[in-house]
Amino acid sequence: MDEYQKAIDFYIESLRFEEVDPITYFYIGECYESLYDTKNAMLYFNKAIESDELIADAWAGIGRLMVKQDQVKTAINYYEKALDIQPDGIDFLFELAEIYLKMSYWEKAEALYSKIVELDSSVVDAWINLSESVLPNEGTEGAIDVIERALENNKDQAALWYRLAGYLYRSGKVQQAYFFIETAMKLDVEKIEFLLEYLPELNNEPRFIELLTLYKSTGD
């Protein structure tokens, strides 16, 4: 934490020798946010906006603070402002989509995650969350379709194979699921949480435990 306070001291000192700089205000706010000092983070994000209302990062910064204070509807307004300024800001899109996903606003979440993967098809978490956002309306088949599209350009990403296996297992395609579980384990057994967070019951399945033990021992 000392590095954040040192950065704050440096930025504040620099303001004595230069013109008002909204980016510097934003950086100070970001440091305070990292120190969990919400009051000062809010103060400096607002200073940044007062100096330049087109600084999208500051609007999103206040959005994050609002989420932490459980003022979700207010947070959405700030994220929307950030996206008005920077429509292709992947971080802003992701954070707002995450809010919608947690609120069960499936269509809104789907729209934002879809935009993210159009902008950058390598964002694995966006693909996984996109699959979760289509699940309530399209079922596991819709979710499987999303993950299969994700794998077209990300075949080396174990997390996607694990999630594909999870959806197949839920669909009753157990043999096929185990094939992809093993595919994923060969890539990265340590990313097994991408499967277990969706299928925690596998922790009690002897076949799975045996397979996991095998690949963990091989990795060691």
Report pLDDT digits (tens) over 100-153: 999 999 999 999 999 999 999 999 999 999 999 999 999 999 999 999 999 999
Alpha carbon of residue 5 to chain centroid: 27
Half-sphere exposure of 131 (CA within 13 A, CB side): 28
Average pLDDT, the chain: 94
- pLDDT confidence bin for 91, thresholds 50/70/90: very high
Mean of pLDDT values over 33-51: 95
Residue 4 DSSP code: H
Q: Percentages helix, strand, coil for the chain, rounded to the nearest 5?
A: 80, 0, 20
Residue 177 pLDDT exceeds 90: yes
| pLDDT score at 17 | 73
Residue 77 pLDDT exceeds 60: yes
| pLDDT score at 14 | 78
* Tokens 């596991």 belong to residue: 140
Residue 219 pLDDT exceeds 70: no
Domain borders along the chain are 1-87
Of 135, 73, 87, nearest to 109 by C-alpha is 135
Burial class (CB in 10 A: 0-12, 13-18, 19+), 171: middle
Structure tokens at 88: 């292709």
The superfamily in CATH containing domain 1-87 is Tetratricopeptide repeat domain (1.25.40.10)
Type of residue numbered 179: F
What one-character-per-residue DSSP string does 38-61 give?
A: HHHHHHHHHHHHHH-TT-HHHHHH
Structure tokens at 167: 């959806």
Listed in sequence order, the residues at least 6 apart from 37 whose beta carbon sits closer than 8 Å to its beta carbon are none
* Whole-number percent of the chain with pLDDT over 70: 99
